[in-house]
Amino acid sequence: MHTTTALHPAGLRWALGAALLTGAALFTATEAHAGRSCEAAKPPPAKSIERGMQLAERTSQALDATGAQVVMLGRAGQDLSKYGLRYSHLGWAYKTPEGPWRVAHKLNECGTAVGHVYRQGLGEFFLDDLWRYEAVWAVPTPEVQQRLLVLLQDKGRTKALNQPAYSMVSYVWGTKYQQSNQWALETLAAAMEPATVNSREQAQAWLKFKGYEPTTLKIGPLTRMGGRVGSANIAFDDHPNDKRFSDRIETVTVDSMLVWLQRAQLGAAPATLVLK
């Protein structure tokens, strides 16, 4: 689904945005980001705020129309086209009893190798210096939605599999680090098998059983060295040597999760909404 819409007057925009912005962090943290570059903190331009809020409003309407209680929701925070990827970051969006949608997702504290789990409104989710004003979502099956909703309403269970040590390219089957999309994927496993999945290792075993396949990024040694030296939130030492030294970096991406959710018959094909 694609849409091009006219902007609302500023006053109405902020009134509509109140419900979209309301959200509470599960942890208190500094500037936190995922799926985009981490530059020095600066106030976003007014145009970016307006378009982010517009995308949030339209996405809220589109999600309401699905009749779903929980969806996998992604955004395009960075340009990853050189890796053949369209989206950079996702979380689990769920409908609250009060009406607004909330998104549970993991964010990296800027300038650090630490990540925490947050609950935010759609406005906050889409006000993160987007590369492209586009939302993507996939509606899980009713059973998956119900299991996820139970977990997402429990703050303890929502953060249970969070590994604070953060790397943007963490190894898909490793536990030393964990990036944002990896948290979302492993949390799905915990929701689906609450009696048997109590650790990241158990979550990954379930995901292997269900046929999840990560994205393999082609990243050469010079790029790896530059990333590791220049960014606190990039590390490659958790990847097996045979893969790392052959420039094969296997990690969890939004694109791979969307494909897998449908292939594993855990959800529907993705839908998109684009502001032009």
| 1 part of a folded domain | no
| 5 part of a folded domain | no
Burial 129-164 (b: 16+ CB within 10 A, else e): bbbbbbbbbbbbeeebbebbbebbeeeeebbbbbbe
Residue 59 to residue 56: CA distance in whole angstroms: 5
pLDDT in tens, the chain (276 residues): 333 222 233 333 333 444 455 444 443 333 565 544 455 456 668 888 999 999 999 999 999 999 999 999 999 999 999 999 999 999 999 999 999 999 999 999 988 999 999 999 999 999 877 999 999 999 999 999 999 999 999 999 999 999 999 999 999 999 999 999 999 999 999 999 999 999 999 999 999 999 999 999 998 775 665 555 457 899 999 999 999 889 999 999 999 999 999 999 999 999 999 998
Residue 42 to residue 36: CA distance in whole angstroms: 15
Q: What is the pLDDT of residue 262?
A: 98
| 49 part of a folded domain | yes
Structure tokens at 235: 């590390």
Residue tagged 């976003």 (tokens): 44
| 117 part of a folded domain | yes
When divided into structural domains, the chain yields a total of 1
| 204 part of a folded domain | yes
| 125 part of a folded domain | yes
Residue 74: domain span: 10-274
Residue 208 to residue 203: CA distance in whole angstroms: 9
| 3 part of a folded domain | no
| 2 part of a folded domain | no
